[in-house]
Amino acid sequence: MIFYYAPKTVSVASQIALEEAGAEYELRKLDFATVEQRSADYLKINPKGRVPALVVDAGIITETPAILAYIAQTYPEAQLAPLDDNFQFAKMQEFNSYLASTVHVAHAHKIRGTRWVDDEAAIEAMKAKVPQTMHECFQLIENEMYVGPWVLGENFSVSDCYVFCVSTWLKGDGVDINDFARIADHNKRMRERTSVQKILALHGIP
């Protein structure tokens, strides 16, 4: 497998899952500073021009929820998803889809407002809203979606990799993670895992 990533992006979630699975994979780092994600070579891998992308024997997978599900299903011995429970697997997908479709989008309003508008005043207004929207997203996760002690309950899953990654963005988004006691505790416990320590060091994330 070949994993395309960029430092300090949502790639972190899938990389932690790959490490947890004990997968053998090669890394391909993209430089966002030089807009390498829009290069002709990378657009052949992922026409969306985004990361991550995972190249496997059968083809190419993009989008974090899809990559996480693939990892969990490909390495069942790692027990990274409730593969024998269709309802719980759907709940995992529900959680991961919320992070992708709502929380990540709220975060992106701070640094990628030009995806939606060109007006400078509108872009600044979007940036100003980020602390509120990210706080609201994590309040919902804390109160309604997070089961505990892990996202889905007693068993660790790829959802833990994902929400940990996104929770590392909170400080930069003007949100205090300590406003969410269970998420703060989760973040602390995740940092004790060897897989997480390895990937944080690779990305230069404190």
Please indicate, yes or no, whether residues 39 and 119 belong to a single structural domain of this protein: no
Classify the phi-psi angles of 204: left when phi > 0, otherwise alpha if psi is within -120 to 50, otherwise beta. left
Interatomic CA distance for residues 200 and 16, integer angstroms: 9
Cβ–Cβ contacts within 10 Å for residue 63, how many? 19
* Token pair 């998420």: residue: 183
What's the angle, vertex CA 28, arms to CA 22 and CA 30, rounded to 5?
Answer: 135
Interatomic CA distance for residues 65 and 153, integer angstroms: 19
* Token pair 């990540």: residue: 104
The CATH number given to whatever domain includes residue 34 is: 3.40.30.10
Radius of gyration of the chain (CA): 17
pTM (predicted TM-score): 0.96
Q: What pLDDT, on the 0 to 100 scale, is given for residue 143?
A: 98
Q: Are the C-beta atoms of residues 17 and 61 closer than 8 Å to each other?
A: no
Range of the domain at 102: 86-193
Q: What pLDDT, on the 0 to 100 scale, is given for residue 15?
A: 98
Interatomic CA distance for residues 187 and 189, integer angstroms: 6
Query: Is there a domain that residue 119 lies in?
Result: yes
Please indicate, yes or no, whether residues 92 and 31 belong to a single structural domain of this protein: no
Please indicate, yes or no, whether residues 91 and 48 belong to a single structural domain of this protein: no
Please indicate, yes or no, whether residues 92 and 128 belong to a single structural domain of this protein: yes
- Ranges of residues in the chain with a pLDDT under 50 are none
Interatomic CA distance for residues 190 and 205, integer angstroms: 13
* DSSP per-residue string spanning 83-104: TT-HHHHHHHHHHHHHIIIIIH
Interatomic CA distance for residues 83 and 98, integer angstroms: 20
The residues with which 26 forms a beta bridge, in sequence order, are 2
Identify the domain boundary among 18, 43, 78: 78
Identify the domain boundary among 49, 78, 107: 78
pLDDT tens digits, one per residue of 164-190 = 999 999 999 999 999 999 999 999 999
The CATH number given to whatever domain includes residue 133 is: 1.20.1050.10
Please indicate, yes or no, whether residues 145 and 164 belong to a single structural domain of this protein: yes
